[in-house]
Chain A
Amino acid sequence: MSGVALPLSFFVPLLTALVVFVIGVRRAYGVILLGALTTLAVALYVAYAVAVGGPQVHYLGGWEPPLGVELYADGLSALMLAMTALVGAGVTLYAGPYLRGKGHDGERFWPLWLVQWATLNGTFLSADLFNLYVMLELLTLTAAPLAAMAGDRPSLAAAMRYLLLALLGSMAYLLGVALLYGGTGTLHLREAGELAGAEPYTAVAAALMTAGLFAKAAVFPLHIWLMPAHSNAPAPASAALSALVAKAGLYLVLRLWLWTFPALLSAPMGWLIGGLGAVAVVYGSVQALRQPRLKQVIAYSTIAQLGYLLLLLPLVALPAAAVSAWHGVVLHALAHGFAKAGAFLAAGNMIYCLGHDRLEGLRGVTPYLSVTLLALGLAFVSLMGLPPSGGFLAKWLLLEGALAAGQWFWGGVVLLGGLIAAAYSFRVLALAHAEVPHGYAEIRSPRRLPPAMEWAPLALVLLAYGMLLGGVPILELLDQGAPEGVR
């Protein structure tokens, strides 16, 4: 019976979205909260079931692959599902008062966000290559309007660019799926990989699918749309896009390379993809240093932090590094999810109170926004990778793996990325904690924050710290159903 939880984690938020659309947000706020809490409960239950009983499987329609579509939850899926549910619950709690206070149209936001949540869960659970294509399209079509919600020139241009690039990417992905199906006769994630082996057409399919997903996840050099799209969206949408949607694309890249194409994962291929990740780490961090607005800093930091996830591919082929790199990268994905969502929501609080998020204008806000600034500070500490944050644990494991295998280059990338992250973090924090400029008693009396908005970012960020305490059970959960090389 526990298998039913897998489809439920897709259907519950989806049906909530439909109900909200029909009866209108004003009357449905309770429904939204109920749907979010139910989804959270289902996701935590899936994680529990996987931790206790190993990987969970549900054959939709009762048809086993290759005929039907399989939902499959192993440790990785369960962790991503739980992280999404926690971040999603935080975003949901936060978005109500934020949208009301900012005069945004909740009627437009809520159904899209809830469908997006359902789609994320579907992406993490589906083990069918074509079903994943449909999920990817749903992610694109929910993410682009959220990015365009501000309706001004930069966000519209960014959404348009994102949409075109993402459509191109999904065509590349679909072409890869077509080749795999043509060669193997199945669409199942693992079966297709096992049947295909390391043929030339598999290599082309892997390249096409990876490139397509890179376009969707804004991996360098396909990153230009991310900063304007994520920094101009309403804060809760930014948090969801940065912490969850972009990561779903990279999750699929890792899933494909470790489950479908392990036979193709040679050293040069690993270096190529890892190299792109390394460039993204350095480039994103340096750009983040130069931005004048808080949300732009956080958006560029996303480009950098997503780059770390790709460092897994060059390391996983080396037995000495594989296990710690795998643990480190997944923990990084989780910690980044919590910290990034918290950071964007905290930035949203500043916009809510001050009406802007220009860094220079943040001087002297400490007395009014102490909780928000605490959340922002702790989020940046996790992004830098300082103890005792989850980001620290992740980077430590990644570094340990790289050094154990003698891969000084990748270790250097991790350290360099952390250093530049420290630079942009301290730049923000120094300005926020600075004295009020001389001659001003007070810039402006900020609006009072509703309690949900004040505490949601802090709660999310603290989850990134809780990971340090829960490190051992998390890693045990992750080992459920992990592929051969990284157990």
Chain B
Amino acid sequence: MTQAAFFSLVAGALSGIAIYGLITQRHLLRRILAVNVLGNSVFLLLVALARRDPDYVDPVPHAMVLTGIVIAVSATAFALVLARRYYSETGLTHLPEDEE
């Protein structure tokens, strides 16, 4: 097994853990954390793919992940502010079952 294949399996396991967190946890902060873990698992798969050809390291996935990291921090920052406003409006740390 190559290093790339090994880390692609790790990425799979990470995404599974993140999904488990998203399903079982309802606290907004934890959900945001779980989405971030999920994002990291996708990034890991991309970087593993960049590494699989023994001849060269592919810079395009690296650029994609770099873009992805910045997008992740932007989205996280907004999500945290939104969650805080929601908490201060409602006193709830989680979303209600349904809004209908």
Contact = CB atoms under 8 A, between A and B. Distances in A.
Determine whether A and B are in direct contact in the complex, meaning some CB atoms lie less than 8 angstroms apart. Answer: yes
B86 A156 contact: yes
A237 B64 CA distance: 31
Interface stretch (A14-22, A170-178, A329-337, A437-445): A170-178
Nearest to B63: A130
A178 B45 contact: yes
B78 A156 contact: no
Given A134-B71, A160-B28, A178 B61 contact: yes
Interface residues of B, number: 33
A141 B75 contact: yes
Interface residues of A, number: 33
A168 interface: yes
Contact of A182 (B49, B83, B86): B49
B60 interface: yes
B67 A134 contact: yes
Interface in A209-266: 224-225, 227-228
A163 interface: yes
B82 A167 contact: no
A459 interface: no
Interface in A125-181: 130, 134, 137, 140-141, 144-145, 148, 151-154, 156-161, 163-164, 167-168, 171, 174-175, 178, 181
Given A171-B42, A224-B100, A159 B82 contact: yes
A228 to B, nearest CB: 5
A164 B35 contact: yes
Interface string B52-87: 100000001100100110010011001100110110
Nearest to A67: B60
B86 A157 contact: yes
Interface in A165-214: 167-168, 171, 174-175, 178, 181-182, 187
Contacts of B74: 137, 141
A432 B78 CA distance: 40
Interface string A353-386: 0000000000000000000000000000000000
A159 B79 CA distance: 9
Nearest to A163: B79
Nearest to B8: A182
A171 B35 contact: yes
Contacts of A175: 42, 45
Given A163-B82, A167-B35, A181 B61 contact: yes
A159 B95 CA distance: 11
Contacts of A156: 82, 85-86, 89-90
Contact of A167 (B28, B75, B99): B75
Contacts of A178: 42, 45-46, 49, 61, 64
B38 A168 contact: yes
Interface in B23-45: 28, 31-32, 35, 38-39, 42, 45
Contacts of A227: 99-100
A160 to B, nearest CB: 5
Nearest to A183: B49
A187 B61 CA distance: 11
Contact of B39 (A141, A159, A171): A171
Contacts of B52: 182
A102 to B, nearest CB: 20
A151 B86 CA distance: 9
Given A134-B67, A178-B42, A163 B75 contact: yes
Interface in A400-424: none
Contact of A137 (B32, B60, B71): B71
B17 interface: no
A109 to B, nearest CB: 16
A448 to B, nearest CB: 34
Contacts of B68: 174
A153 B89 CA distance: 7
B17 to A, nearest CB: 14
Given A164-B31, A178-B61, A181-B49, A154 B99 contact: yes
Contact of B78 (A145, A174, A182): A145
B98 A174 contact: no
Contacts of A152: 89
Nearest to A173: B42
Nearest to A158: B99
Nearest to A186: B60
A93 B32 CA distance: 37
Contacts of B61: 178, 181
A152 B42 CA distance: 34
A209 to B, nearest CB: 13
Nearest first, the 8 closest Cβ-Cβ pairs linking A and B are: A182-B49, A156-B86, A178-B46, A228-B99, A175-B42, A167-B35, A137-B71, A171-B38
Given A137-B75, A171-B38, A224-B98, 5 more contacts: A134-B67, A140-B75, A159-B82, A167-B39, A181-B64
Interface of B: 22, 28, 31-32, 35, 38-39, 42, 45-46, 49, 52, 60-61, 64, 67-68, 71, 74-75, 78-79, 82-83, 85-86, 89-90, 95-96, 98-100
